[in-house]
Amino acid sequence: MVTRNSKIQNNLQANINEISEKLGWSSDLMIRTFTLKGIGLRVSIIFFEGSIDAHSLETHIIEPLMTFEMPLKYEEQGLLNFLIQHVIQVKAVRMVESMEDAIHEIVNGKTLLVVDDMPLFISADIVKWNEKGLTNPKAQRVTKGPDIAFTENRTTNISLLRKVIKNPDLRIETKSYGKKTSTDVSIVYLDTSVQNEILTEIKKRLDKIELEVVLESNYIEEGLTEESKSIFPLMLNTDRPDVVAAEILEGKIGIIVDGSPFVLVAPAVFIQFFQTPEDYYIQLENNKWLRLFKMILYAVSIVVPGLYVAFTTHHPNLLPIQLLISFVSQREVVPFPTVVEIILLGAMIEAIYEASNRVPQNVVLTISVFGAIVLGQSAVESQLIQPATLVVMSASYIMTSVVPIWVMRNVARYLVLIFIIAGATFGLYGIFLATLIVLFHLCNLRSFGVPYLAPFAPFRVRDQKDGLLRSSIEDVANNFPVFSKEETLQQTEDDNKN
C-alpha cells in the first residue's frame, strides 16, 4: 500500500532534519546511520526508543542491511523494492511517499528506513510497546470459567477473541481516532450474523466523532450514544474475552479501543447486564433461578429506601402495630426528619465507597471497617440516625451490589435517590408514579434501534430460552436470540432525546 501527500526530499540529511524537527528533536528519537554494502549509499533507521522490538531490529533489519551485497544497478524504486523483497526480514513492510505519513508511522511505533538519494521511505512493523501481561478480570469476576482479562493492547485483545472464535467469518476493521493521539479503534463482528444496518450506523457515528484525544473506551462510547439522555447504558462494557466472544457470536458488534482493557459491545439490552459467564459455566439445576433472583434483588434495592420513607412519613397507619411502635420509639430521639436522615446516610455510604476506591490498597480494609462498622454504629449510638435507617440503607447497598455489570450500580444510585424523593413528597403514590415513569422510559429506550427491554417488550417466545431463566445449554448454544429492530435508527435518536 502506497500513500501520497507532500513529497520527500532526495537528500538523506535533509529528511532526517525535517523528521527530527517535526518530532521536536525528542530525546527518545533514535537514529542509526550506516552504509549499504556494495553500493556505498547511506541509510538511516529512525524509531522511538521503547516502542520497538530491539532483537528484531538487530536481527531482521540492521544485520541483513549491513551484510547483504546490494545490486550495483537499480532504478529509483528498484532498490527499495529489492530491500523489501529480499533483505528486510519483517512481517509487515510498506513504502511511504509523504513526510506526513512518515511521521504518522514513527509515532505509531513503526521503524522508518531512509535511504540517501531516494524520495521514498520504508516503514517496517516491529512494534513492541512496554506493557503488562495477561491478568485476571477485575470488573466481572467468576468462581468458575476462564480467568483471563483483556489488556491495554488492541492487538493482544483481538488475538484473545480469535482464540475463542476460530471462524473465517470473523471480521476486523481498524481506523484511528483522536487528532492528537491517533488511537486505533477496531470493530469486530461475525460477517454471517451481524445486522448490516446497525454495523453501517456504528461506522457512520464513529466517523462523526471529532475528538482531539481518545484515551479510553468511554470516549468512543459517549460519542456513539451522545443522542441518549438516559442514565441507563446503551452499550455493554466488559473486560472478559469470553463475554465479548459470546456477544459477537449472537450477531452483536465489539469495539476495541487501543489503550483500554474494556471492550464495548453494541447493541445492548437490559437483560444483558444481569447475565454472567457463570450462568453458562455452572450446571443448570444449580443456578436456574439465580438470574431472576438477582433482578428481583436489584429492583428491591432501588425501591426499599423510598418505601421506608413513604411508610414512615405518610402512611404509618399501614404498618403492623409492633413495627410502627418500634419506628416511633426510634424516631423520638433522632433530630432529623427521616428523609434527611436517609439521604445523609446514603451520602456517607457513597463517601466510604469512593474513599475505598481512591486510597492505597493496603488501607482499603481499614477504611471499609472503620466506615461501615465503627462510624455506622457510633451514629446509631449517638442517636443521630435510627437503627432501622441503617439496616434499610445497608441492605439496599448490598442488594445493589449483586448486579454483574458494575455500571448498573451507578444507575441504581440515581434511581434510589429519585424513589426517596418521590416517597418523601407523595408517599406511595409517588413510588407508583416513579415506577411507571421508569418502566415507560425503559420501554421507550432503544439501543441502535433494538428495544431495550427485548425480548420481554416486545415479547418473543423463542428468545425466552435465555431470558429470566436459562434453558439447557444445548438450547442456548444452538439458538442465539435475535433482537429485531422495530424502527429506523433515526427514529431511535428522536426517541432517546425525549
pLDDT tens per residue, range 366-404: 776 776 677 777 777 777 888 888 888 888 988 988 888
Q: What is the average per-residue pLDDT within 475-491?
A: 60
Q: Based on the domain organization, do 158 and 269 belong to the same domain?
A: yes
Query: pLDDT category, 1, cuts 50, 70, 90?
Result: very low
CA gap 463, 321 in Å, rounded: 46
Q: Based on the domain organization, do 314 and 432 belong to the same domain?
A: yes
CA gap 18, 334 in Å, rounded: 74
CA gap 422, 432 in Å, rounded: 9
Q: Based on the domain organization, do 334 and 369 belong to the same domain?
A: yes
Q: By residue range, what is the domain housing residue 87? A: 12-124
pLDDT given for residue 2 in this prediction: 40
Q: Based on the domain organization, do 314 and 184 belong to the same domain?
A: no
Whether residue 293 lies inside any domain: the answer is: yes
Helix axes 196-208, 489-497, angle to 10 degrees: 60
Whether residue 450 lies inside any domain: the answer is: no
Distances in whole angstroms, Cα of residue 483 to Cα of each of 272, 291, 415: 12, 19, 26
121 DSSP β-pair partners:
96, 114
Q: Based on the domain organization, do 241 and 308 belong to the same domain?
A: no
Radius of gyration of the chain (CA): 30
Dihedral angle at the C-alpha atoms of 302, 303, 307, 309, nearest 10 degrees?
Answer: 20
Whether residue 464 lies inside any domain: the answer is: no
Q: Based on the domain organization, do 183 and 214 belong to the same domain?
A: yes
The Cβ-side half-sphere exposure at 357, using a 13 Å CA radius, reads 7
What pLDDT digit, counting tens, does each position of 117-133 carry? 888 888 988 888 766 66
Expressed in angstroms, the distance from the first to the final Cα of the chain is: 46
Whether residue 329 lies inside any domain: the answer is: yes
281: part of which helix (H) or strand (E)? helix 278-281
- Quote the number of domains for the chain: 3
Q: Using an 8 Å Cβ cutoff, are 230 and 445 in contact?
A: yes
Coil/strand/helix, residue 416: helix
- Asked whether the whole model's pTM tops 0.95, one would answer no
Cell match 484511528: residue?
Answer: 176
Q: What is the average per-residue pLDDT within 16-29?
A: 85
Whether residue 174 lies inside any domain: the answer is: yes
| 409 burial via Cβ count (<10 Å: 0-12, 13-18, 19+) | middle
Lowest mean pLDDT across 120-134, 210-224, 442-456, 483-497 = 483-497
Whether residue 354 lies inside any domain: the answer is: yes
Whether the predicted pLDDT of 29 surpasses 80: yes
Domain boundary among the residues 247, 281, 315 is at 281
Whether the predicted pLDDT of 481 surpasses 80: no
Whether residue 87 lies inside any domain: the answer is: yes
pLDDT given for residue 472 in this prediction: 75
Query: pLDDT category, 480, cuts 50, 70, 90?
Result: low
Whether residue 136 lies inside any domain: the answer is: no
CA gap 301, 33 in Å, rounded: 67
Q: Based on the domain organization, do 77 and 209 belong to the same domain?
A: no
CA gap 245, 231 in Å, rounded: 26
Would strands 42-48 and 263-266 be described as parallel, antiparallel, or unpaired?
Answer: unpaired
